[in-house]
Amino acid sequence: MTEFGKSLASSPTPIPGLVVWELPVHGDNRGWFKENWQREKMTAAGLPDFGPVQNNIAFNDAVGTTRGIHAEPWDKFVSVASGRIFGAWVDLREGPTFGAVFTTEVDPSRAIFVPRGVGNAYQTLEPDTAYAYLVNDHWSPDATYTFLNLADETSAIEWRIPLDEVEISAKDVAHPRLDAVTPMPPRKTLVVGANGQLGRALRGALGDAPHIEYATRQDIDLTSDDLASARRWRDYDTIINAGAYTAVDLAETPEGRSQAWAANASGVAALARVATANGITFVHVSSDYVFDGSLNRAYREDDPFAPLGVYGQSKAAGDTAAATAPRHYILRTSWVIGDGKNFVRTMASLAERGIDPKVVDDQMGRLTFTHDIARGIRHLLDARAPFGTYNLTGSGDPTTWAGIARAVFTATGHDPDRVTGVSTEEYFASATGPVATRPRNSLLDLAKLEAVGYVASDAEASLRRYLAT
């Protein structure tokens, strides 16, 4: 019997992500009415905003008709329009809950959200039963499906009507037992710009699991009109954009300007469109150069853009594009040091070779090491932090480039007084090529990221560890 007068409520199950929903049903002498799917109310109550694209209805006229156990590579929201069903769900995803079972009855006053990779089966308990399901992907013959036999002894589902008395398809009868099932792999993570210094750090942080994909410029063309169909994007959970054009001074040349905008703005917009269309979480790495450095405090995430040069302008445009993806993390960072050629390595080399450098002493900031950016990205994803923009740099006292140079000299056993601090204007006075204007204040406020549990590494301690290795 359909229960009337319920309040909208959810109940978790032993299978992670599988959630039973109680639906308000309003009845009178004419029949009943319910809101079978109400995005605003249900997402506010905790249902994932899973973006359904298709509505299917299955009708069974006979009691005992049994379907399953099928695990599809998409999420589905299953409800009953008429009649009553017994449902059985088995977790067929890779992971510690593989094989977990949950069963319940579903009538018009109840629904269930079934996450990707959880096998589902339904047995009709009343004649003329119709059940509907919303799915967030279109059926495709190229998709990966997983199946389990309805009579699997390990799952030991207690069917309301014995399987030898019901209507079952020959295909469902032939499905494998649990010990022969190939688990549904997790959705993929794509790292774009995998050969860059951040891309290499991400490989260290994320590892080489089969569902982690690393792509170089040769592997993926962000300018292609076919990008939207270049992969089966519904199989992806996350895109991390670790690629960028970072030649700040060359960006001021005609060729560099074009390359900077292509990589930092147009390419980002293309990835954001793919992420938006397929419900993918988009992670993008930004820069302090979106600001002009004129504030007398650390920059917060909501401070307005005020870029000084082409590089900063292209990064600000990229941030704007990335923010159009509903599920986005923008990590704004500064003074990045990785495993390639960089300022720290240069200063260490000069110290060793007996060269006394002149270094800019009127730009303030903190170093950020690529392994910390990678760690921050993983933290946001693992913690399922609220989407948005986060500042991420090293922590500790701010310093200047000259201050960092002196710290490098000290850490490598050399006299820090060999470093002479100069103004930005003096440093670039003899430059023969284009010079981009730098922000004088590159300090970024870390409070928002720390509020979601990330502990920033002390920049000075990170520098010492970097030089030691």
Quick: pLDDT tens for 146-193.
999 999 999 999 999 999 999 899 999 999 999 999 999 999 999 999
The DSSP bridge pattern shows strands 328-333 and 281-287 to be parallel
Binning pLDDT at 50, 70 and 90, where does residue 6 land? Answer: confident
User: Is the pLDDT score of 410 beyond 90?
Assistant: yes
How does the average pLDDT of the chain come out, rounded? 94
**In which element (H, E) is residue 286 found?**
strand 281-287
Angle at 134 between CA 133 and CA 137, to 5 degrees: 125
Q: Lowest mean pLDDT: which of 39-53, 104-118, 246-260? A: 39-53
pTM over the 0.85 mark: yes
**Mean pLDDT confidence for 39-48:** 92
What percent of the chain clears pLDDT 70, i.e. is strictly above it? 99
Query: What is the rounded distance in angstroms from the CA atom of residue 17 to the CA atom of residue 40?
Result: 19
Q: What is the pLDDT of residues 275-309, one digit of tens each?
A: 999 999 999 999 999 999 999 999 999 999 999 99
Cα–chain-centroid distance for residue 80? 33
Identify the bridge partners of residue 120 per DSSP, sorted by sequence position: 70, 89
Spell out the alpha helix ranges (H) of 14-150: 39-44
Please report the pLDDT score of residue 436 as a whole number: 94
Residues 6+ apart with CB under 8 A from 259: 245, 251
What pLDDT, on the 0 to 100 scale, is given for residue 378?
96
Tell me, yes or no, if 371 is annotated catalytic. no
Q: What is the pLDDT of residue 469?
A: 83
pLDDT at 29 over 90: no
Query: Can you identify the CATH homologous superfamily of domain 9-180?
Result: Jelly Rolls (2.60.120.10)
| Residue, of 27 and 47, whose pLDDT is higher | 47
Tell me which CATH code domain 188-468 carries.
3.40.50.720
- pLDDT tops 60 at residue 46: yes
Residue 176's φ and ψ, nearest 5 degrees, are: -75, 160
Residue 1 near residue 82 (C-beta atoms within 8 A): no
CATH 3.40.50.720 domain residues, the chain: 188-468
In the three-class reduction of DSSP (H, G, I as helix; E, B as strand; rest coil), residue 165 is classed as helix
Residue length of the chain: 469
Question: Looking at residue 276, what is its pLDDT?
Answer: 95
Element (H, E) at 149: none
CA 316 to CA 439: how far, in whole Å? Answer: 14
Residue 70 a catalytic site member: yes
- What lies within 8 Å, CB to CB, of 56 at 6+ separation is 132, 133, 135
- Quickly state the pLDDT bin for 269 (edges 50, 70, 90): very high
Q: Could you tell me if residue 258 is left (phi over 0), alpha (psi between -120 and 50 degrees) or otherwise beta?
A: alpha
**Comparison of pLDDT for 140 and 422, the residue scoring more:** 422
Q: Where in the chain do CATH 2.60.120.10 domains reside?
A: 9-180
Determine the pLDDT at residue 403: 97
Give percent helix, percent strand, percent coil of the chain, each to the nearest 5. 30, 25, 45
pLDDT reported for residue 440: 96
At 1 the pLDDT is: 55
Name the active-site residue from 131, 133, 289, 427. Answer: 133
Residue 377 tokens read as 């990205």
**Mean local confidence (pLDDT), 16-22:** 96
Contact yes or no for 310/260 (Cβ under 8 A): yes
Over 80: is that where the pLDDT of 404 sits? Answer: yes
